[in-house]
Amino acid sequence: MIQAKVRTKSSSFSPADRRGIYRAIYERRDVRSHFLSAPVPEAVLGRILDAAHHAPSVGFMQPWDFIVIRDESVRRAIHANFESSNRRAAAVYEGEQRKLYDTLKLAGILEAPVNLCITCDHKRPKGSGLGRQSDSATDLYSTVCAVQNLWLAARAESLGVGWVSILDPEKLKAILGVPAPLTPVAYLCVGYVSEFLTSPELEEKGWECRESLTKLIHFDRWDAQDERRAAAMVETIEERKSIGR
Ligand SMILES: Cc1cc2nc3c(=O)[nH]c(=O)nc-3n(C[C@H](O)[C@H](O)[C@H](O)COP(=O)(O)O)c2cc1C
């Protein structure tokens, strides 16, 4: 029988603490173009991996593993996977959109000194299936929570992170020796950067822009939207204004 140990800490964040977390959220960027070759110390890597490991998970399942990749020959093999997957992805677009696609930098596998692969083990027994009976995909959602924790912690450490999904997952698993039943959820390029862009690179390059939040808020039911009420909710947000965006 596991003894219940419930401890609490002060529930309040100081104003500076609160600003810090919003700053990490608003200033986090997906980075592909601005990596420096400066080494990432193991202790810093340890801190961001521990942030990932403190993510919420369904039933406390903790379905994740983290592969830390520094070896250049491994990164070269992944980069080749990216190049062929990206050629296939590009073929979907035509005309001006294809021209724009071809100008996008969509991975920094070789430029970033560290790459990380975060996997999900669907059969991990921890948590005894609690919370997964109705939706088995919750193990994947949990793993994505770990990725986001890592991404925010990395920003606070001045480390850039770029998520590369343009990869053939089966080839990725073969290169990294990931056991067949596991899913590689995220492949991340990590390193110090020359700059963090103030807005998403895809926005800067004219590919896509941020949707208005007020169009995405519903009240009580899907078909009950009220843009004026939604606008009133978000117009007072100071945290974003204070960082100039
Ligand atoms: C699941 C996922 C997969 C992504 N895959 C790629 C990718 O393959 N290449 C890339 O350049 N960016 C990728 N991104 C980054 C997005 O393009 C980026 O998050 C988005 O443009 C918003 O920019 P921001 O993260 O800087 O706010 C991915 C992001 C997510 C969440």
Q: Which residues contact 210 (CB under 8 A, 6 or more apart)?
A: 199, 200, 203
Tell me how far apart the alpha carbons of residues 216 and 194 are, in angstroms, rounded to a whole number: 34
Indicate the pTM of the whole model.
0.95
Mean pLDDT of the chain: 94
**Residue of minimum CA distance from atom 30 in ligand 1:** 163
Alpha-carbon dihedral angle through residues 15, 21, 25, 30, given to the nearest 10 degrees: 140
Give the per-residue pLDDT at 9: 73
Residue nearest to atom 23 of ligand 1 (CA): 200
Whether 140 and 226 map to the same domain: the answer is no
Reply yes or no on whether the pLDDT at 1 is more than 60: no
List the Cα angle 61/114/176 in 5-degree steps.
60
| 34 close to ligand 1 (CB < 6 Angstrom) | no
One domain, residues 137 and 192: yes
Q: Are residues 79 and 172 in the same domain?
A: yes
Q: Could you tell me if residue 93 is inside a domain?
A: yes
Same domain? For 53 and 136 the reply is yes
Q: Which atom of ligand 1 is nearest to the CA of 164?
A: 8
Does residue 224 register a pLDDT over 60?
Answer: yes
Q: Are residues 134 and 232 in the same domain?
A: no
| Residue numbers of the domain that contains 217 | 211-245
pLDDT, tens only, 92-141: 999 999 999 999 999 999 999 999 999 999 999 999 999 999 999 999 99
Q: Could you please report the per-residue DSSP string of 181-217?
A: T-EEEEEEEEEEBS---SS-HHHHTTS--PPPGGGS-
Ligand 1 pocket check for 202: Cβ under 6 Å: yes
- Asked whether 196 and 184 are in contact (CB, 8 A), the reply is no
pLDDT tens digits, 147-173: 999 999 999 999 999 999 999 999 999
In a domain, 243, yes or no: yes
**Residue 49 above 80 pLDDT?**
yes
What is the mean predicted confidence (pLDDT) over 28-35?
A: 96
Give residue 187's Cα distance to chain centre: 9
Average pLDDT value for residue range 66-92: 98
Closest CA to 62 of 1, 4, 13, 118: 118
Looking at the structure, tell me whether residues 95 and 115 fall in a common domain: yes
In Å, the largest CA–CA distance within the chain is 65
pLDDT of 242 strictly over 60:
no
Q: The tokens 């056991």 sit on which residue? A: 179
Q: How far apart are the C-alpha atoms of 226 and 229, rounded to whole Å?
A: 5
Give a yes or no: residue 5 inside a domain.
Answer: no
In this structure, are 108 and 219 located in the same domain? Answer: no
Q: Is residue 22 in some structural domain? A: no
CB-ligand 1 contact for 200 (6 Å cutoff): yes
- Answer for the pair 18, 93: CB distance below 8 angstroms, yes or no: no
Kindly give the number of the ligand 1 atom that is closest to the alpha carbon of 29.
26
List the one residue out of 49, 15, 245, 62 whose CA is nearest residue 153.
Answer: 49
